[in-house]
């Protein structure tokens, strides 16, 4: 038997290459200054999904929500071996926070009738780690976070070694389940050359050059499916701005200046002074 | 996170500069495969784009996963188990799995066997990167050439049996040639094969110094005609690893520690004949070795690249007397000569490989062409064959000697630190040493290449390149002077050739290295001039003009000194050998 596996992935700005102009004056992220990449832990999620499929059969579908540019990570997924890729794209989804995003993605997973969903632990742009767990809640799936090792998948469900920070838990979860994956879980596989040669040409309808027929692309297996919120039967009160209770008050660009440090003597008195200063500056306490 | 393709501006530039569109059109046989295999390129641009993506993918694996394990692999080496099997180092094992996942283990094999049908030039570039990451791994990866040999000469039945698993990376292979008394002189091979009453072949005997002899597929050069004692008594057989193939020993070597060098005892091992009897050495192994020589040239460049990068980085960060050491002219000269030497070897090797691709395409075409086309093809094949008999040994000789010089000079830049195990430099130097030895020593490469210098092929090659730049209509004012110098030097080289033809064979052999070096200086000079005229990248073209200037300033005085030495007509080496070499050491 095979599993119907869905991987939720996100295209993110490469925050490792952050420079001085990474933030605009209004405090929002200057996406033009940072290359867009596959969120690293989502690649670990994809690798876990592909390994389950390789061992047990089934299909791996990668879903991402974003503008047509986000198809770049879907092509990437197809080149690494994913069977199918879907772009969820709709202007009405703009400004969705983690709650609204998890609602929209959970609708996609529902439509795909998945047995298993893998997500990266968190995305490197927002670092919230909320979308996966919120999706599991909405879908009623068993949630397992922080997968470090996939032990097996079988009749009892999925057995996982999860890293809980100060140790590990060996848990078995009934399917359907949603699992979030850590970057220590595996090394994502490289692109397969032949798939690279083929799926570099895959596009969603909005990326097609004028005159290129989507049906002809679909026939070659090169059309990336696009779903809008209607296709997902979304209730509009839970999406976009309306469905997003998170209100951003202010975003600060914090620039850490070098050399701004103070030394404390390694004595009782020094330690006490350090603690009291940290409390005073609200770093702790 | 390093990518060994995108961080290498010389390789990226040459990738764009060489006429890969032409190679793609030949390799894809006018893009006829696309109908059967939907991933196969539709046109030349599509092919070039795919090649670039494939190289980037391999470059990422090399930078991220292979290079970080090279030191440990060098330290731990391979293990010969009690049951005669060999366990690769964890790094090598992982690398092979990754490259197999990337479908890079059937790099040049046809699509129908699961390969990705790339030109040899693209494969050479991948070899260059793999070797930079871990020179030992390149031996196993580069032995993909064995699959090419089976594809070129074996029966369809053998191809079907072996090639799909080789392309998938499930099976690695070895070229099983060397024996205790048959090294450079393969005509002396004694390991034999015989047929039973059903006509089945069996191999019996011992082979030594076999790189990756523990691989699953063994291409063996064996004596099938016991009554013929020279090379015509040898045939090529293929067999699989099994209980009757016994690895008796792993050699303990100076370098490439993670490449298993095996002594094998074949205990009546069932095998299959590749191609025809008696053509083993004179046709198949010669072809195999030519491919392997290009492979070793690429390996040498990879080692040189790795060694150079450590030195360049160290020179820019190490401070003495209050400044970084790369501000001192003596250190600068080491670095500049190393970089230009490296680029020279890369140019020469890629140029040689480009011509190998054209030769392979002509050979394929010869099987199907008819009439005038057949005639024209035959003519191209003849001249390109001559080119490659010159360029392949030149590339192998120059590349391997370059890797020795560059890795040696890298240690000079690092000084005491370079001598310590703390840096990779000492490993690079140990790894480089073998490149001038295996697949034919430098001395043998020189003998092969000098024939092409004496026959005038070298001159034809230079005339060919100087006729017109690859990517421009004519030589510009910047390069014209250098092209004229090269043409004038070619006349001088011709004079040397004419002179030397009047001398004894011994003198000719003695001067062979000088003649080959002179030819290489000119061929590389034309290559640099051609690159300086490139339109694919203006910044790199401007850099290549500077490289050309330095090359000419560095190498032309050497050219002149070699010419003087040849015309001096002094041979003390042969007549005074006993006196000059000193007495034989007495070993007690």
What digits encode the pLDDT tens for the residues A81-128?
A: 999 999 999 999 988 889 999 999 999 999 999 999 999 999 988 888
What is the Cα–Cα distance from A198 to A78, expressed in whole angstroms?
9
The stretch A26-45 carries a mean pLDDT of 83
Would the CB atoms of B98 and A221 count as touching at under 8 Å? no
Paired with A160 in beta bridges are A150, A171
Is residue A26 over pLDDT 70? no
The verdict on residue A244 lying in a domain is no
Closest CA of chain B from A263, distance in Å: 29
Q: How many CB atoms lie within 10 A of CB A232?
A: 21
Would the CB atoms of B104 and A191 count as touching at under 8 Å? no
- The tokens of A143 are what? 């949630």
Cβ-contact B412, B324 below 8 angstroms: no
Specify the pLDDT at position A285: 66
Cβ-contact A194, B36 below 8 angstroms: no
Q: What is the enclosing helix (H) or strand (E) of B261?
A: strand B261-274
Whole-Å CA distances, B530 to B392, B462, B523, B585? 20, 11, 11, 51
Paired with B274 in beta bridges are B236
CATH topology of domain B443-568: 1.20.120
Give the residues of chain B that fall short of pLDDT 50. Answer: none
> Which residues in chain A have their CB less than 8 angstroms from residue B60's CB?
190
Name the A residues in 219-258 with CB < 8 Å from any B CB: 220-221
What DSSP state is assigned to residue A144?
E
pLDDT digit string, tens, across residues A257-272:
766 678 888 999 999 9
Q: How many CB atoms lie within 10 A of CB B554?
A: 16
Cβ-contact B151, B180 below 8 angstroms: no
- The 3-state DSSP composition of chain A as helix, strand, coil percent (nearest 5) reads 35, 25, 40
The verdict on residue A115 lying in a domain is yes
The verdict on residue A265 lying in a domain is no
The verdict on residue A254 lying in a domain is no
Would the CB atoms of A191 and B65 count as touching at under 8 Å? no
What's the N-to-C CA distance of chain B in angstroms?
A: 56
Cβ-contact A171, A146 below 8 angstroms: no
Supply the CATH number for residue A108's domain.
3.40.50.620
Q: Does B60 touch chain A (CB under 8 A)?
A: yes
The verdict on residue A160 lying in a domain is yes
Long-range pairs of B358-363 with CB within 8 A, sequence gap ≥ 24: B358/B23, B358/B26, B358/B384, B359/B384, B359/B385, B359/B387, B359/B388, B360/B120, B361/B23, B361/B26, B361/B27, B363/B152
Closest CA of chain A from B40, distance in Å: 7
Which of A187, A188, A197, A222 to probe by mutation at the B interface, max B CB count within 10 Å?
A197
Q: Does B205 touch chain A (CB under 8 A)?
A: no
Name the B residues in 91-110 with CB < 8 Å from any A CB: 98, 101-104
- Domain carrying residue A136: 3-238
Count of structural domains, chain A: 1
What is the Cα–Cα distance from B364 to A54, expressed in whole angstroms?
38
B419-430 per-residue burial string, b: 16 or more CB within 10 A, e: under 16: eeeebbbbbbbb
The verdict on residue A107 lying in a domain is yes
The verdict on residue A252 lying in a domain is no
Closest CA of chain B from A107, distance in Å: 33
> Which residues in chain A have their CB less than 8 angstroms from residue B65's CB?
187
Packing angle of the helix pair B371-414, B425-433 (nearest 10 deg): 140
Q: What is the enclosing helix (H) or strand (E) of B22?
A: helix B20-27
Q: Which residues contact B113 (CB under 8 A, 6 or more apart)?
A: B106, B151, B159, B163, B164, B166, B167
Burial zone of B406 (CB within 10 Å; 0-12 exposed, 13-18 middle, 19+ buried) = buried
Q: Does A183 touch chain B (CB under 8 A)?
A: no
Specify the pLDDT at position A258: 67
Specify the pLDDT at position B369: 87
Would the CB atoms of B103 and A189 count as touching at under 8 Å? no
Assembly ipTM: 0.92
B173-278 maps to which CATH number? 2.40.110.10
The verdict on residue A121 lying in a domain is yes
The architecture (CATH level 2) of B280-440 comes to Up-down Bundle (1.20)
Cβ-contact B523, B483 below 8 angstroms: no
Averaged pLDDT of chain A: 91
What is the Cα–Cα distance from B385 to B381, expressed in whole angstroms?
6
Specify the pLDDT at position A28: 64
Q: So what CATH class is B1-142?
A: mainly alpha
Which of B28, B31, B38 to probe by mutation at the A interface, max A CB count within 10 Å?
B38
Name the B residues in 30-59 with CB < 8 Å from any A CB: 37-41, 49-50, 53-54, 57
Size of interface A-B (CB pairs under 8 A): 44
What is the Cα–Cα distance from B65 to B314, expressed in whole angstroms?
23
* H-type alpha helices, A81-187: 98-112, 131-139
Domain(s) of CATH 1.10.540.10: residues in chain B: 1-142
Whole-Å CA distances, B121 to B20, B136, B538? 9, 21, 23
- The tokens of A41 are what? 């832990």
What's the N-to-C CA distance of chain A in angstroms?
A: 53
Closest CB from A190, A194, A197 relative to B98: A190
Specify the pLDDT at position B286: 87
- For chain A, the farthest-separated pair of C-alpha atoms sits apart, in whole angstroms, at 76
What is the Cα–Cα distance from A35 to B418, expressed in whole angstroms?
37
The stretch A160-179 carries a mean pLDDT of 95
Is residue A54 over pLDDT 90? yes
> Which residues in chain B have their CB less than 8 angstroms from residue A195's CB?
39
Closest residue on chain A to B101 (Cα): A192
Domain(s) of CATH 1.20.120: residues in chain B: 443-568
Q: How many CB atoms lie within 10 A of CB B286?
A: 13
Q: Which residue has the tokens 């230079």?
A: B462
Domain(s) of CATH 2.40.110.10: residues in chain B: 173-278
Q: What is the enclosing helix (H) or strand (E) of A54?
A: helix A40-56
Q: What is the dihedral of CA B561, B563, B568, B569, to 10 degrees?
A: 130
Would the CB atoms of B102 and A220 count as touching at under 8 Å? no
pLDDT digit string, tens, across residues B502-538:
999 999 999 999 999 999 999 999 999 999 999 999 9
Q: Which residues contact A268 (CB under 8 A, 6 or more apart)?
A: none
Specify the pLDDT at position A27: 60
């Amino acid at each position: 038997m095979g599993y119907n596996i869905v991987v939720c992935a996100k295209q993110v700005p490469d925050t490792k290459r952050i420079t001085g102009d990474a933030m605009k004056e209004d405090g929002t992220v200057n996406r033009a200054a940072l290359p867009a990449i596959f969120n690293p832990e989502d690649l670990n999620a994809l690798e876990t999904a592909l390994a389950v499929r390789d061992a047990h059969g089934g299909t791996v579908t990668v879903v991402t929500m974003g503008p047509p540019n986000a198809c770049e990570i879907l092509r990437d997924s197809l080149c690494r071996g994913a069977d199918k890729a879907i772009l969820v794209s709709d202007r009405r989804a703009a400004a969705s926070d983690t709650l609204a995003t998890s609602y929209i993605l959970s609708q996609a997973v529902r439509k795909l009738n998945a047995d298993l969903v893998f997500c990266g632990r968190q995305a490197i742009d927002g670092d919230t780690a909320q979308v996966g767990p919120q999706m599991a809640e909405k879908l009623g799936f068993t949630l397992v976070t922080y997968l470090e090792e996939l032990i097996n998948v079988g009749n009892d469900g999925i057995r996982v070694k999860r890293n809980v920070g100060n140790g590990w838990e060996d848990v078995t979860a009934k399917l359907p389940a949603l699992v979030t994956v850590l970057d220590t879980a595996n090394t994502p596989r490289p692109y397969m050359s032949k798939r690279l040669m083929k799926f570099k040409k895959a596009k969603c309808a909005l990326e097609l050059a004028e005159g290129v027929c989507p049906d002809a692309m679909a026939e070659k297996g090169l059309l990336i499916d696009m779903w809008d919120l209607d296709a997902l039967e979304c209730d509009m009160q839970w999406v976009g701005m309306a469905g997003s209770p998170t209100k951003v008050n202010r975003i600060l660009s914090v620039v850490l200046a070098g050399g701004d440090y103070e030394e404390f003597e390694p004595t009782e008195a020094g330690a006490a002074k350090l603690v009291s200063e940290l409390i005073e500056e609200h770093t702790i306490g | 996170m390093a990518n060994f393709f995108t961080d290498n501006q010389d390789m990226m530039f040459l990738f764009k500069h060489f006429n890969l569109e032409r190679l793609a059109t030949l390799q894809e046989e006018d893009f006829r495969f696309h109908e059967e295999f939907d991933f196969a390129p539709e046109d030349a641009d599509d092919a070039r784009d795919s090649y670039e993506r494939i190289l980037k993918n391999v470059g990422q694996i090399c930078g991220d996963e292979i290079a970080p394990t090279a030191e440990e692999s060098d330290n731990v080496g391979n293990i010969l188990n009690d049951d005669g099997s060999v366990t690769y180092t964890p790094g090598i094992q992982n690398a092979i799995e990754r490259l197999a996942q990337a479908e890079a283990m059937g790099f040049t094999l046809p699509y129908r066997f699961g390969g990705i049908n790339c030109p040899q030039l693209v494969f050479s570039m991948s070899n260059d990167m793999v070797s930079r990451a871990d020179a030992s791994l390149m031996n196993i990866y580069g032995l993909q050439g064995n699959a090419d040999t089976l594809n070129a000469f074996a029966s369809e039945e053998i191809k079907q049996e072996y090639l799909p698993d080789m392309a998938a990376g499930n099976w690695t292979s070895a070229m099983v040639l060397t024996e205790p008394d048959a090294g450079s002189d393969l005509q002396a091979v004694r390991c034999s094969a015989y047929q039973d009453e059903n006509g089945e072949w069996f191999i019996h005997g011992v082979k030594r110094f076999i790189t990756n002899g523990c691989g699953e597929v063994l291409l063996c050069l064996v004596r099938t005609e016991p009554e013929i004692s020279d090379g015509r008594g040898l045939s090529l057989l293929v067999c699989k690893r099994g209980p009757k193939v016994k690895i008796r020993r792993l050699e303990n070597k100076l370098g490439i520690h993670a490449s298993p060098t095996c002594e094998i005892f074949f205990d009546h091992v069932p095998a299959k004949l590749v191609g025809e009897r008696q053509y083993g050495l004179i046709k198949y192994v010669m072809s195999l070795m030519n491919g392997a020589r290009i492979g070793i040239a690429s390996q040498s460049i990879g080692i040189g690249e790795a060694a150079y990068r450590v030195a360049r980085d160290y020179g820019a960060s190490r401070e003495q007397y209050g400044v970084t050491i790369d501000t001192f002219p003596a250190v600068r000269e080491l670095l500049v000569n190393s970089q230009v030497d490296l680029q020279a070897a890369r140019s020469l090797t890629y140029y040689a490989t480009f011509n190998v691709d054209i030769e392979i395409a002509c050979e394929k075409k010869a099987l199907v062409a008819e009439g005038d086309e057949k005639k024209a093809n035959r003519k191209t094949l003849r001249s390109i064959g001559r080119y490659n008999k010159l360029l392949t040994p030149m590339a192998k000789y120059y590349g391997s000697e370059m890797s020795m010089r560059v890795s040696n000079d890298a240690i000079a830049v690092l000084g005491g630190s370079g001598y310590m195990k703390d840096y990779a430099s000492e490993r690079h130097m140990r790894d480089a040493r073998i490149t001038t030895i295996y697949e034919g020593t430098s001395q043998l490469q020189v003998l092969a290449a000098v024939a092409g210098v004496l026959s005038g092929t070298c001159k034809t090659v230079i005339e060919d390149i100087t006729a017109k730049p690859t990517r421009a209509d004519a030589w510009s004012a910047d390069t014209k002077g250098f092209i004229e110098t090269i043409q004038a030097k070619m006349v001088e080289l011709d004079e040397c050739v004419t002179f030397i033809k009047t001398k004894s064979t011994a003198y000719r052999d003695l001067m062979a290295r000088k003649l080959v070096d002179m030819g290489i200086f000119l061929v590389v000079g034309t290559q640099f001039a051609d690159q300086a005229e490139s339109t694919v990248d203006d910044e790199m073209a401007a850099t290549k003009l500077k490289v050309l200037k330095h090359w000419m300033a560095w190498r032309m005085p050497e050219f002149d000194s070699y010419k003087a030495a040849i015309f001096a007509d002094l041979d003390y080496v042969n007549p005074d050998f006993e006196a000059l070499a000193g007495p034989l050491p007495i070993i007690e």
